[in-house]
Amino acid sequence: MSDKQNKKPIRSFKDLEVYQNSYEASLNVIKKIVPKLPKEEQFDLASQLRRSSKAVPRLIAEGYSKRHQVKGFQRYLDDALAESNETIVSLNHAKDLYENTVDLNLTKELIDCYDIFSKQIYNLARSWKNFTAR
């Protein structure tokens, strides 16, 4: 079977792979990275990581409700892309500033994941107008 035949129909934002994976990654950021940051970062870097990582799947979900409006969905996907990129920068800060307290391998994996999410969100935004009702 080809990839097209294996793909499930998109009936909900929860069917979008980028939503599923970014939601899971946000849990890892919040549960495994943020608690390892020093106390002086709880109101800055930790707060930013919590907000930006949670924003990615939230914006995808919220935008999906406007999927019938190409520009409406596009705006939310643009914002999700910005939050994904912001999460990458914050994870890089965590990695580079607090290498003795954060899990460097996990942090690098998450950076790679968010890089993939950014690409997926960009591609979804570009191709959404070509999707047909499913």
Question: 3-state class of 119 per DSSP?
Answer: helix
How crowded is the C-beta side of 25, counted as CA atoms within 13 Å?
31
pLDDT value for 1: 41
pLDDT at 18 over 80: yes
118, containing H or E segment: helix 104-127
Which CATH number among 1.20.1440.60, 1.10.3720.10, 3.40.50.170, 1.10.357.10 corresponds to the domain 16-128? 1.20.1440.60
CA pair distance 52, 87, nearest whole angstrom: 6
Q: What is the pTM of this model?
A: 0.89
CA pair distance 91, 51, nearest whole angstrom: 13
Q: What is the pLDDT of residues 60-108, one digit of tens each?
A: 999 999 888 878 888 999 999 999 999 999 999 999 999 999 999 999 9
